[in-house]
Amino acid sequence: MVGVIFFLKAKKNMQDIIKIKRALISVSDKSGLLSIAQYLVESGCEIISTGGTAKFLQGHDIAITGISKITGNPEAFSGRMKTISFQVESAILFDREKDKAEAESLGIKPIDMVVCNLYPFEKYLNQNADPDTLIENIDVGGPTMIRSAAKNFKFVTVLCNPNDYNAVINELRLNDCGISYKMRKKLMADAFNITADYDSTIASAMDKFNGEESLRLSFKGGKELRYGENPQQQAMIFQERKTDTSLLDVEILNGIELSYNNILDVNAAIESVSGLKPKGCVVIKHSNPCGLAQGEDPGQVLNLAWNGDSVSAFGGVVAFNSPVNLSTVLFFNFDASEKKERKFIEIIAAPEFSEEALEYLSKQKKLRVIRFNPELTKNELDLKFVNGALLSQTKDNRLYEKLEIVTKTTFDFESKRDLLLFGLHAVRQVKSNAIVTVKETNDCYQLLGIGAGQPNRLNSIRLALEKTVVNLNNEGNNSMNDVILFSDAFFPFEDNVELSNQFGIKIIVQPGGSIRDKNVIEKCNQLGISMIFTGIRHFRH
């Protein structure tokens, strides 16, 4: 009985491998093509080819059968007609089991592999080519062959991406010029996605040609998460198909998988530390930075970021934009005998960790330790789904349009320029209505207080300044002289200035643009406050 089972399995495995005896090669992108073409020829495979591909292969002494010999027709109309024919599509599409006799009676010889990539429509689209050039770069025969081969993947291998050539060659070598069902199935899915994305790009371009904007999105690698924002919600994460790096494949060096909320917080952390120089650290809680600092020493900036709001930092996400060593992470005091003395965080992320730092952090079994490079995650668009619609906007990548002192009261602007840029970066990360305060501490810049997500700006100012007072008092300092207040949008009324003045603020940075700017500026002049207009608003909803 065991021998019978083994025989049946062996027979199944033999059927699983399809030998490549005949391949059709017609490609626009010829990179890497010689390696697979040469292997096929050396293995006794007949290669059928078209147009420029045929000339390319013949130029490298690879024998080919011209497509016209198969179709019985010439390549015509400047190459628009080459492969589209009963003979070619039948050779790819017919069922090798059910249709074998019919194919033989029609003189159809099977094609076992299709190597094809498409006219570079997107390349010319990105070059702002004229409509006639775009039309000529819409491939018709290529997608037809690809879809035919993909549909019949049970018997045919379809190969569209030069990046897959080496894997296919390895399979051919392993299986005596045969391809496994598993590989054919994978390449089939890749092929349908390639033609889908190709047609989507063309459709959007043709919409624009007709005066209508459209956007088609493609994502892959869907991964189920434990749950969404709340346990009763299901959640998944997908990677944008055209993106090489994403939070889907972020490297987790220690701890359990990331949840939906974790991913949102890590994303906020990445955006918060990206661009901070020389070194930056952020503490994120509920997608808002509760602490942010930049300076030369990672340990020092961690201490300042944490002390920005040490209560809110409990259970937060800590991220760096520079490598982290042991001396930095000892700050968390994980070795303390008293549990209350250990600092509790959910996630720590950085571009790199020393071996000693990773060993120390790994003592906390559930602590997620994430390796990432914030400079690799740069989205061009900010997309938000709303009921039955999609909002799309470019990323908020401009800190300011101008830095103009608009009041009679001034200050040493140049000496505080870098601090001003840090403050603008900080307020851009906070949910609107957003107010932040910052100051320089021991050659580092620190976020002292935030007011986030309030229905009115006065509440945000009050929250930010009350926290600022607490932090200053903790330092044994009760002076606001060195503190700068930033607003993500204009001050609509003088009461914003009056409240800031009650707490002792001497410098305010805001976009300007209110119909009451003159009144606000006059109030600053009356109170001896310096005000800077930036010309750029930073709403974040």
Which of 19, 30, 109, 151 is labelled catalytic?
Answer: 151
Known catalytic membership, residue 286: yes
Query: How many angstroms separate the CA atoms of 111 and 53, rounded?
Result: 17
- Find all residues with CB under 8 Å of 469, minimum gap 6, and list them: 478, 503
Burial (CB count within 10 angstroms: exposed 0-12, middle 13-18, buried 19+), residue 525: middle
Which of 19, 286, 343, 416 is labelled catalytic?
Answer: 286
Q: Is 33 helix (H, G, I), strand (E, B) or coil?
A: helix
Residues linked to residue 223 through DSSP beta bridges, in sequence order: 237
Known catalytic membership, residue 60: no
What is the DSSP pairing of strand 345-350 with strand 316-320? parallel
Q: Report how far Cα 530 is from the mean position of its chain's Cα atoms.
A: 40
Q: Which of 221, 224, 225 is nearest to 240 (CA)?
A: 221
Q: Which of 15, 27, 51 is nearest to 113 (CA)?
A: 27
Contact call for residues 80 and 140 (beta carbons, < 8 A): yes
**Which amino acid would we find at residue 324?**
V
Query: CA separation (Å) from 41 to 20, 58, 62, 164, 240?
Result: 11, 12, 7, 18, 37
Virtual CA dihedral for 131, 133, 134, 138, nearest 10 degrees? 140
> Around Cβ 136, how many Cβ atoms within 10 Å?
14
What is the DSSP pairing of strand 288-295 with strand 279-285? antiparallel
Query: How many angstroms separate the CA atoms of 25 and 67, rounded?
Result: 10
Name the token pair of 126: 């990105």
CA 215, 218, 223, 224 torsion-angle sign: positive
- Find all residues with CB under 8 Å of 451, minimum gap 6, and list them: 433, 434, 435, 436, 459, 460, 461, 462, 463, 464, 465
Q: Which of 237, 244, 233 is nearest to 222 (CA)?
A: 237
Rg (alpha carbons) of the chain, rounded to whole number: 31
CA neighbours closer than 13 Å in the CB half-sphere of residue 278: 8
DSSP state of 324: B
533 phi/psi in degrees, rounded to 5: -100, 135
Longest Cα–Cα distance of the chain, Å, equals: 100
**Which amino acid would we find at residue 131?**
P
Q: Which of 103, 98, 62 is nearest to 86 (CA)?
A: 103
> Around Cβ 294, how many Cβ atoms within 10 Å?
27
Contact call for residues 67 and 50 (beta carbons, < 8 A): yes
DSSP 116-162: E----HHHHHHTT--HHHHHHT--SHHHHHHHHHHHTTTT-EEE--G
| Residues recognised as catalytic | 151, 286
